[in-house]
Amino acid sequence: MTTTTDALLLVQFSNGAPSTFTVMAGKGRGVAAFTFNIEALGIGRGSMPEARVGPSPLFPNTDFKPIPLKAGEDEDYMLALKQEMRGTMQRLPHNIKPHKSKSEVERYAERYLKQRRVTDEEWTPDWNLLPKELMPQKKKLRVKTVTKKKTVKISSKDTKDVLNKLDELAKTEDGNPEKSDDETEKEKKPRGEDEEEVEAEEYEEEDIEEDNDYIESYFDNGEDFAADSDENMDGEATY
Amino acid sequence: MHRACTGETRASGARGAGERKCCAVCVDNEKSHVSSGGLKTSAEKDDSPGAQNLRTIIHETDTSLDLVKKSLCVLVQHGTCVFSSGRKGPGSPTEYQTCSNWILRILRYPRYIYAAKTLYGDTGELIIEELLQRGHMTLSSTVKTVADRLTQNMEEGHSMDYGEVSNTFSKLVETHFLQRCPPPPRAGTKDSSTPATPATPATPATPASTAVPTPESFPDCYKIPHVTLAGRGKRQLSAEDGEDQRNAKKPKLDSQTHGDEGIYWQVNFERFHLHFRDQAIVTAVANKLDQTSSEIVRTMLRMSEVTTSPTAACTKPLSANEIFRSLPGSYNISRPILDQYLTLLVDDPMEFVGKAGESGGGMYVVNLHKALANLARATIESVVQERFGSRSARIFRLLLRKRHLEQKQVEDFAMVPAKEAKDMLYTLLSQNLVQLQEVPKTPDYAPSRTFYLYTVNQLPTARMLLQNCYKTVANLIERRLFETKESKRLLEKSQRIEAILASLQAGGAEPEQLTEVEEMITTTEKQQLEALRLHINKLDSAENQVDETIFLLESYVISTATSTS
């Protein structure tokens, strides 16, 4: 019985344009199946809204023109303040400029714009007010560069020293040089083989899976059809 | 306004999408893409506390560590983002949270500055402007910058005294328009070392700092530190000389100490809002009744400014005698006329002024919350009127007054032809401005035995309109960005030519040369530029004025929240 009220509630309009009005009368089928007189609700024959097609427009027409904006000294001053504010905010050091891809050729205009940027001041926030983790890590960066330079130096200068050291080490271990070599080789070989095998296995598995997929999706062995036909048969039998 | 009103009705508890979008666009506007990206993620995540730590932000925004750090610094500096640590127990990472309220205040910056100008002159204006632009500053640095700027605008040979500026500053603090920034939350490690909660050792994971402390909760909030400041504003010299001087001056300035390092000041938006509210009430009275009655209400509001708490529903009762004594002499209102005006105000249906008692020649109060509710109602009514016409507005007002009406009754009372009334009613219903209430006679809800009552709920409607306003502002900003992007080339060209002109003039070029350069912009381009300027002015003005509506609706919604609790 509640379905009739549902029908009423379906007279929902979305965004001005009415949606389609579906009739879900209590006892199903038929057109004039309301349990009450629709006229009583004030819905006449011609007053049904049209069906809606497509989404509502991005800039719908308004029935009434908007009233003009207030204009006066206050408004003008506030407008000026707003625009000035925007300008200064962009020149303050707090403004983070979007990352620009540097143009290859320096444009003529940039020379003039640069002159303006000179007024930019550095901003050093009070780190007492901010979490420690936000501090730019300048020190670490320096350390890194230093270490890099060192490694470069080592590679260029001290290679001889290192080689000498290695030679010395080899001499001290001369007692059993072959054995150690063999061991290392043995250790190396199986590892490599294992890795290869694992990879091969992975490939195989993938292949198998794909094959299976292929078979299931493409190759029809007729079993499905049989099952379907069985069901159909059953269905027919019940009729 | 109208175009943006495509149903945005979610407002219960959670922040609406419109509001959130507005936030993102605002920050985008004022700062940068990077920080807005960070903000978007932390706003969009919006799980119960809405807080995120540095690692997640970097992950979500997909930007470099340094950039995220820098933008977080900027956001914190401007108060648009707060951080807290140790929410998940001591030692947990610091979490960052956006304050959408603060971000939305960016829209109102021009209004704050303008209010400061009307109250405290140019000095007040510049103080507020500097503080808003930089988030927070120390007293000494504010005074210096403001004095320098004022000196810049003065005639040659004059300069602004630091003392004068700091006087204005302290006045602003005394009237609570400025306040100290709350001290930053201590790091989690420190909290664990000091036994802050020894009484509750069983629950160590209690969120100690989830609630952001309000600045007012610190006793020194409005206390001015002793500052040693002497000197006058310096004139910034132009071009290259200025640069040299600046470099020479910098270290000197830094080495000076004024005794207020580490004490930062910020603008107290709430106080400004109270001021705006009072002004709104006064202008409403002036529009409804007349100038004299508005002056009486203004006097009442000024008298109770100090005694009334910010969230009070009405001012402390004032006797007619007191009001009479406090009226400025220039108004020339005699005592009997004052009494007449007061009775008139009390009888007015807008109920701005109420009568609290008979003693002392009658005790009167200003109904702050009622006034806000009435102003909000007037706003909603005018929105209906401007969008759907005066006859729809008549139906709307009818429903507001009679609470619940059947369709037939609406048609009769509004004296609108049945068919049109139905149409309007359904349109209002579809826009969620009018609600439908079913009252079944029998439990089966059969339509033939059910009353369908139309009603208007003011608070949800106000909330909905508020969300629409936020969306409107977001759309306005988007449109402005689009317009500037469209004519980027043109703007760059005019900028360039201006720069060239300036440099030529500085170099003492001949007038022929100047006109030649000026003619590089064609007349059509000039027209285009002019049109663009007009469009952008309109969009900016609209932004300012939508914000006035936002302010009114916001105050109303907040006032209902405080009066019920």
Quick one: pLDDT at residue B370? 92
pLDDT tier for residue B443 given thresholds of 50, 70 and 90: confident
Residue B68 confidence (pLDDT): 77
Q: Residues A182-186: what's their mean pLDDT? A: 47
Does B31 contact A86 at a Cβ distance shorter than 8 Å?
no
* pLDDT for res A142: 40
The three-point CA angle B438-B439-B441 to 5° equals 135
What would the pLDDT profile of A57-110 be if each residue is shown by its tens digit? 888 787 788 888 888 888 899 999 988 888 887 777 666 665 554 555 555 555
pLDDT of res. A98:
56
B71: closest chain A residue by CA: A96
Mean pLDDT of B161-189: 79
Could you report the per-residue pLDDT of B253-293, keeping only the tens digit for each?
Answer: 444 566 677 788 889 999 999 999 999 999 999 999 888 89
Q: Is A229 on the interface with B (CB under 8 A)?
A: no
Higher pLDDT, B197 or B393: B393
Q: How far apart are CA B455 and CA B439, in angstroms?
A: 12
pLDDT at A46 over 50: yes
pLDDT at B459: 93
Closest CA to B270 of B25, B559, B564, B565: B559
Mean pLDDT of B285-305: 91
Residue A44 pLDDT level (bands cut at 50, 70, 90): low
Q: Are B386 and A56 a contacting pair at CB < 8 A?
A: no
CA nearest to A129 within chain B: B184
Q: Any chain A CB within 8 A of the CB of B482? A: no
Nearest to B538 among A8, A56, A69 (CB): A69
The predicted model gives B127-150 an average pLDDT of 87
Is this structure's pTM higher than 0.95?
no
Instruction: Tell me how many helices (H) and strands (E) chain B has.
Output: 22, 12
Confidence class of residue A217 from pLDDT cuts 50, 70 and 90?
A: very low
pLDDT (0 to 100) of residue B160: 78
Is residue B3's pLDDT more than 70?
no
Give the least confident one: A34-38, A148-152, B433-437: A148-152
Residues in B touching A73 (Cβ below 8 Å): none
Average pLDDT over residues B57-74: 76
The interface predicted TM-score (ipTM) is 0.75
Question: Residues 6 or more apart from B185 whose CB is under 8 A from it?
Answer: B83, B84, B85, B209, B213
| Chain A contact for B444 (CB, 8 A cutoff) | yes
Q: Is the pLDDT assigned to residue B200 strictly greater than 60?
A: no
Q: What is the pLDDT of residue B548?
A: 93
B184, β-bridge pairs: none
What are B456-477's pLDDT values in tens digits? 999 999 999 999 998 898 889 8
The Cβ of residue B446 has, within 10 Å, a number of other Cβ atoms equal to 18
A27 interfacial to chain B (CB closer than 8 Å): no
Of A150 and B148, which is predicted with more confidence?
B148
Query: Once rounded to an integer, what is the mean pLDDT over residues B399-423?
Result: 89
Task: Tell me the residues of chain B between 266 and 325 that have a Cβ less than 8 Å away from chain A.
Answer: none
pLDDT at B189: 35
pLDDT of residue B112: 94
Q: Within an 8 Å CB–CB cutoff, is residue A192 touching chain B?
A: no
Contacts of B77 in chain A (CB under 8 A): 94, 125
**Structure tokens belonging to residue A91:** 């020149």
Residues forming beta bridges with residue B179, ordered by sequence position: B266
> In chain B, pLDDT over 70 holds for what percent of residues?
77
Residue B12, pLDDT > 60, answer no
Q: At B534, is the pLDDT very low, low, confident or very high (cuts 50, 70, 90)?
A: very high
Instruction: Tell whether A41 lies on the interface with B, counting CB pairs under 8 A.
Output: yes
Q: For B496, which of A5, A62, A112 is closest by C-beta distance?
A: A112
Low-confidence winner among A174-183, B106-115, B341-350 (lowest mean pLDDT)? A174-183
pLDDT at B34 over 70: no
At B2, is the pLDDT very low, low, confident or very high (cuts 50, 70, 90)?
Answer: very low
Q: What is the pLDDT of residue B50?
A: 59
| B565–chain A nearest CA distance, Å | 34
**Alpha-carbon gap, residue B395 to B191, rounded angstroms:** 61
Q: What is the mean pLDDT of chain A?
A: 58
pLDDT at position B156 is: 72
pLDDT reported for residue B332: 80
Do the Cβ atoms of B541 and A126 come within 8 Å? no
pLDDT for the residue B466? 92
Whether residue B425 contacts residue B395, with contact meaning beta carbons closer than 8 Å, is answered with yes
Q: What are φ and ψ of residue B378, in 5° steps?
A: -60, -40
| H helical segments located in B289-350 | 291-303, 320-326, 335-347
B181 touches chain A (CB under 8 A): yes
pLDDT at B86: 63
Mean pLDDT of chain B: 78
Partners of B452 in beta bridges: B438
How many angstroms separate the CA atoms of B64 and B62, rounded?
A: 7
Res B565 pLDDT > 60: no
Listed as own residue / partner, the contacts of B206-212 with beta carbons closer than 8 Å and 24 or more positions apart are B207/B87, B208/B86, B209/B84, B209/B85, B209/B86, B209/B87, B209/B185, B210/B49, B210/B84, B210/B87, B212/B82, B212/B84, B212/B97, B212/B99
pLDDT digit string (tens) for B212-262? 456 666 666 777 776 666 666 665 544 333 333 434 333 334 445 666 777
